[in-house]
Amino acid sequence: MKIGPGDEPHEQISVLNPADGSIIGEVPAGTRQDADNAVLLAREAFSSWSRTDATNRSKILFTSAERVRADQKELAVLLTREQGKPIRESMNEIAGFARVLEYYASISGSLPGDYGKSSSYGHMVVARQPLGVCAAIIPWNMPALIMAWKIGPVLATGNTMVLKPSKTAPLTCIALAGHLSASGLPEDVLKIVTGTGEVIGKSLATHPDIRSLSFTGSVDTGIRVASLAAPTLKKTILELGGSDAMIVCHDADLKAAAKGAVSGRFFNCGQTCTAIKRVFVHEQIAGSFINEIKELTSRFKIGNGLESGVDMGPLHTRRQRDLVHEIVRNTIDSDMGQVLTGGVLSDAGSLNSGNFYMPTILTDVDPDAPVMKEEVFGPVLPVTTFSTLDEAIDHANATRFGLGSSVWTHDARTISRAIEELNAGIIWVNQHLRIPPEVPFGGMKSSGIGRENGRNALLSYLEEKTILINP
């Protein structure tokens, strides 16, 4: 297979189905030359795309969304086959992709330049122009949605983009890019380059002609990417890991909170940056809350995400599953928590060929245990109790992360304190893990730099020029 003009045949990367280990496709292992070609072509495409009227750009995004919605089922099946999530979640993610494009299509023309007049300086005008070629490096956990968060504001503002998907989940991104192209997106405005982080990711991060880099992934890779990007002074947005806390107060609606905990943790097999990764429950209601989450979890159907009624699929990779099991075992072996349910690879012979892990609840967990401090990217819910709100907020803030946190209560003073005192980019009240495209999304501390989504995302892909006219 060839990618890029005049290239030699490439080595191939196999894409595996996490449910059974079978090979479902192959993509080229791109080279530095492929990344450079893509940037060159995207730079050439910029000159006409940046001059295309915003209304016409919006039309293409609307048409793309419509096409994606029409092909939702097929795209969702592909997503489940390469990523592992239940088909219901894939259907929602594909719909989310379309919704994000529609959102940016609907607001792309709504950022006119500002102007004013001063007796000293004359006319003061702020004009906004697209940056040029932007790059995105994305992970495997929500490939379609994260791709939309990157391409939506970039394309709507007249920039072009080179996007590197994860090497383990590139197929849905390629299929989605095909829909944009079939909807009239001019050639080379969006380039997808497949390959490894060390080759393609590094090439994009260091490329002098890329003006902006939006990275989503782990903290360690984010730090590396930021340092690779620094010498070329590109605008860099980092969306990194999280260890979201859920605080369940004594007056919480117990059933709603238990349902929220279970869906907020086991959604996408626990592999979501804003999943609930730690629960702090008030000691007065801890017993009932724990019984309720155990009961809900016991009804889970685990299996291949394409089977009907499956609530939780496999972990994305075998390595990911082994890491999750290791941290559970270490918690138990060091007496820092107890297994209430789960803690095993799988309980059915038919699941052995996939990367399955049973939904796991740990109780009496030491708030200083690594399972509470580090990001555990898998279906493990550690629970511990608190007696005062001060204590709960202190625990919630006591990690290097600051992505999201939720508080479950109907008390106005508690809500007010949580909003004020929780160090997180997103604070939910009586809900968790909901991310509408209309509002900013991103984290504090090691969870990242910058925000995506919302109208401000458009601004981050525009250069401002101040013009002072003395008539």
- How far from chain centre, in Å, is Cα 343? 26
> DSSP label at 13?
E
Radius of gyration of the chain (CA): 23
Name the active-site residue from 273, 277, 292, 375. 273
* 205 touching ligand NAD, by CB under 6 A: yes
* 217 touching ligand NAD, by CB under 6 A: yes
* 225 touching ligand NAD, by CB under 6 A: yes
Instruction: Compute the least distance from the CB of residue 97 to ligand NAD, in Å.
Output: 14
Q: Is 150 a catalytic residue?
A: yes
Looking at 241, 260, 314, 354, which residue binds ligand NAD (CB under 6 A)?
241
Closest to ligand NAD by CB, 158 vs 425, is 425
DSSP tally for the chain: helices H, then strands E: 15, 20
Count the alpha carbons within 13 Å of 90 in the hemisphere toward its beta carbon: 28
The Cα-based distances of 286 to 35, 76, 121, 283 in angstroms read 53, 38, 64, 5
Tokens of 330: 């270490």
* 148 touching ligand NAD, by CB under 6 A: no
Instruction: Compute the least distance from the CB of residue 316 to ligand NAD, in Å.
Output: 8
Q: Is 452 a catalytic residue?
A: yes
- How far from chain centre, in Å, is Cα 310? 22
With beta carbons less than 8 A apart as the criterion, state whether 107 and 185 touch. Answer: no
CA gap 333, 377 in Å, rounded: 20
Question: Which residue reads 């390469």 in tokens?
Answer: 82
- How far from chain centre, in Å, is Cα 144? 9
Instruction: Compute the least distance from the CB of residue 137 to ligand NAD, in Å.
Output: 5
Span near ligand NAD by CB under 6 A; candidates 81-89, 160-168, 185-193, 326-334: 160-168
Instruction: Compute the least distance from the CB of residue 110 to ligand NAD, in Å.
Output: 25
Question: Which residue reads 């919704």 in tokens?
Answer: 99
* 357 touching ligand NAD, by CB under 6 A: no
Closest to ligand NAD by CB, 57 vs 164, is 164
Closest to ligand NAD by CB, 143 vs 342, is 143
Instruction: Name which of residues 283 to 322 contact ligand NAD (CB under 6 A).
Output: none
Span near ligand NAD by CB under 6 A; candidates 71-79, 95-103, 133-141, 257-265: 133-141
* 85 touching ligand NAD, by CB under 6 A: no
The Cα-based distances of 136 to 46, 90, 466 in angstroms read 16, 22, 28
Looking at 141, 157, 194, 346, which residue binds ligand NAD (CB under 6 A)?
141
Ranges of beta strands (E only) in 240-323 are 244-248, 276-282
> DSSP label at 452?
B
Span near ligand NAD by CB under 6 A; candidates 61-69, 237-245, 284-292, 341-349: 237-245
- How far from chain centre, in Å, is Cα 190? 20
Looking at 266, 377, 408, 461, which residue binds ligand NAD (CB under 6 A)?
377
Instruction: Name which of residues 7 to 66 contact ligand NAD (CB under 6 A).
Output: none
Strand 12-16 and strand 23-28: the pairing is antiparallel
Name the active-site residue from 150, 164, 202, 234. 150
Per-residue binding letters, 242-261, with ligand NAD (x by CB under 6 A): x-------------------
Which amino acid belongs to residue 438?
Answer: E
Between helix 254-266 and helix 286-298 the angle, nearest 10°, is 50
Instruction: Compute the least distance from the CB of residue 163 to ligand NAD, in Å.
Output: 10
| Total count of residues recorded for the chain | 471
Name the active-site residue from 93, 102, 239, 292. 239
Which residues of the chain form contacts with ligand NAD (CB under 6 A)? 137-142, 146, 164, 166-167, 197-198, 201-202, 205, 216-218, 221, 224-225, 239-242, 273, 375, 377, 403, 443, 448
Give catalytic residue positions: 150, 239, 273, 452
